[in-house]
Amino acid sequence: MNVMIIGSGGREHALAKKLAESPKCEKLYIAPGNGGTHNVGENLSLDISDFYAVAEKVSALKIDMLVVGPEAPLVEGIREYFEGSEEFQNLMIIGPGRLGATLEGSKDFAKEFMKRHGIPTAAYSTFQRGEADQAINFIKTLKSPYVLKADGLAAGKGVLILNGEDEACREIELMLEDGKFGAASSKVVIENFLDGIEMSTFAITDGEDYLLLPSAKDYKRIGEGDTGLNTGGMGAVSPVPFAHDEILKKIEEKVVAPTISGLKKDGIPYIGFLFFGLMIVDEEPFVIEYNVRMGDPETEVVLPRLKSDLLSHLQAAARGGLKSENLEVDDRFATTVMLVSGGYPESYEKGKKIEINLDPTENEILFHAGTKRRDQSLVTSGGRVISCTALAETLASALDKSFKLAEAVKFEGKVLRRDIGKDLLT
């Protein structure tokens, strides 16, 4: 099979590495890819929002499977674009169509879906432009902290958790009436604060059956001790030590299975990855968000633990037969520590030379994110630069190895969180 992966982050490098290992993989392309994917397949210089340009390459390179990494092309209808053309009727596409992608593209749609199918989530109300007064009255009935969510995609910045009632009321006006997040905040979901521990789990589905991938915990804030601004993710751990079998069983029964059957009942076709962002409160799972893709950096700890053939699983999702696929998972711990550019998640400089002073062993992997080749060298080209993944029998030794890798990669302004996974060590 010839495979094209869309995207350029650490997630796409991890997907590329895993798919390249499959005996079913002939040619592997990553569009646009990064300085690391270059070593596992061929990078294609493409604007991924230009579906016409993507389609030209899919045709010229005789691509059999298109794996869509990020959410934006899905929300923008990349599946419909290909399905609408005679030429691409046999193309396997990993990622849902527009309607399925709305589970991530609209918080209100996701909440309605959960309510309809009895999937545990925080109680909420949604308000539209022109309804700021009603929203403020609603806030006054709640207890602090207040959780305000812009309905649409807002580059990971659309969720505000505020302690003060006055501040929450002011923000509601900014979001609903002053377009703080543009069109994304023309609707706002206000929901109850859930006090618990966060974790995520992931499934591959064909809309009927699913394979449950290992769970993971990520670290979203820039600062140690979970302080400062939200980022795309500063590190991750899999498995999640507190998520014992009983919790995993509840997640599967109360969240994953009803979500897949809910998609079916609603007539929403869905082929691809589904990411369940969860809060565990008193040993009970609540969904805080759906994403219609894999997480980043969660993929960098989930896929290294997958022993079975990912390409075979994805082929079965696209063609049928997912039921007879068996997922095999490595029992060891995987950890990843993200190296980011100084200033991220706000403004930062690019083009810093990257030096890597070690040869990773089999159980140590550097997944590239914001890197690119310039002449013979490697330079930074984004906020998140390299994800340092390690596998080991214990969480502590996996973390040791990840931090050792993190030390061995050098570039000006490098920032990392040294407390990744430390809260989970007992």
Kindly tell me which of 161 and 358 has the beta carbon lying closer to ligand AMP.
Answer: 161
Residue 191 binds to ligand AMP (criterion: CB under 6 A): yes
Contact criterion met (CB below 8 Å) for 48 and 74: no
**Residue 194 binding result from ligand AMP, ligand GLY, none, given CB thresholds of 5 to 8 Å by partner type:** ligand AMP
Q: How far apart are the first and last CA of the chain?
A: 45
CB of 189 to ligand AMP, least distance (A): 9
10 Å Cβ neighbour count for 341? 23
CB of 7 to ligand AMP, least distance (A): 19
Residue 257 binds to ligand AMP (criterion: CB under 6 A): no
**Rounded CA separation 142/367 (Å):** 43
Contact criterion met (CB below 8 Å) for 95 and 272: yes
**Residue 309 binding result from ligand GLY, ligand AMP, none, given CB thresholds of 5 to 8 Å by partner type:** none
Q: Determine phi and psi for 355, rounding to 5 degrees.
A: -115, 135
**Residue 295 binding result from ligand AMP, ligand GLY, none, given CB thresholds of 5 to 8 Å by partner type:** ligand GLY
Show the beta-strand stretches assigned E in 332-375.
Answer: 333-340, 353-356, 364-368, 371-374
CB of 289 to ligand AMP, least distance (A): 4
**3-state class of 367 per DSSP?**
strand
Using CB under 6 A as the criterion, which residues of the chain lie in contact with ligand GLY when the complex forms? 218, 232-233, 291, 295-296, 298
Omega before 32 within 30 of 0, i.e. cis: yes
Residues in the chain: 426
Contact criterion met (CB below 8 Å) for 201 and 256: yes
Question: Alpha-carbon Rg of the chain, whole angstroms?
Answer: 21
**Residue 298 binding result from ligand AMP, ligand GLY, none, given CB thresholds of 5 to 8 Å by partner type:** ligand GLY
**Stretch 260-289 residues interacting with ligand AMP (CB under 6 A):** 277, 288-289
Kindly tell me which of 5 and 150 has the beta carbon lying closer to ligand AMP.
Answer: 150
Scanning 42-50, 52-60, 67-75, 192-200 for contacts with ligand AMP by CB under 6 A, the matching segment is: 192-200
**Rounded CA separation 52/298 (Å):** 30
Kindly tell me which of 218 and 309 has the beta carbon lying closer to ligand AMP.
Answer: 218
Q: What share of the chain is helix, strand, coil (3-state, %, to 5)?
A: 30, 30, 40
Residue 198 binds to ligand AMP (criterion: CB under 6 A): yes
Residue 423 binds to ligand AMP (criterion: CB under 6 A): no
Tell me which H or E stretch contains 136: helix 132-139
CB of 227 to ligand AMP, least distance (A): 13
Tell me which H or E stretch contains 121: none
Scanning 69-77, 191-199, 299-307, 374-382 for contacts with ligand AMP by CB under 6 A, the matching segment is: 191-199
Kindly tell me which of 104 and 364 has the beta carbon lying closer to ligand GLY.
Answer: 104
Residue 193 binds to ligand AMP (criterion: CB under 6 A): yes
Q: What is the DSSP letter of 425?
A: -
**3-state class of 191 per DSSP?**
strand
Among 61, 142, 159, 356, binds ligand AMP (CB under 6 A): 159
**Rounded CA separation 199/75 (Å):** 24
**Residue 406 binding result from ligand GLY, ligand AMP, none, given CB thresholds of 5 to 8 Å by partner type:** none
Among 46, 74, 114, 122, binds ligand AMP (CB under 6 A): 122
Scanning 21-29, 41-49, 186-194, 387-395 for contacts with ligand AMP by CB under 6 A, the matching segment is: 186-194
Contact criterion met (CB below 8 Å) for 137 and 179: no
Q: What is the DSSP letter of 194?
A: P
Kindly tell me which of 289 and 309 has the beta carbon lying closer to ligand GLY.
Answer: 289
Residue 220 binds to ligand AMP (criterion: CB under 6 A): yes
**Rounded CA separation 388/403 (Å):** 8
CB of 37 to ligand AMP, least distance (A): 26
| Beta-bridge mates of residue 285 | 280
**Residue 159 binding result from ligand AMP, ligand GLY, none, given CB thresholds of 5 to 8 Å by partner type:** ligand AMP
Kindly tell me which of 152 and 295 has the beta carbon lying closer to ligand GLY.
Answer: 295
Binding residues (CB under 6 A) for ligand AMP: these are 122, 147, 159, 161, 191, 193-194, 198, 220, 277, 288-289
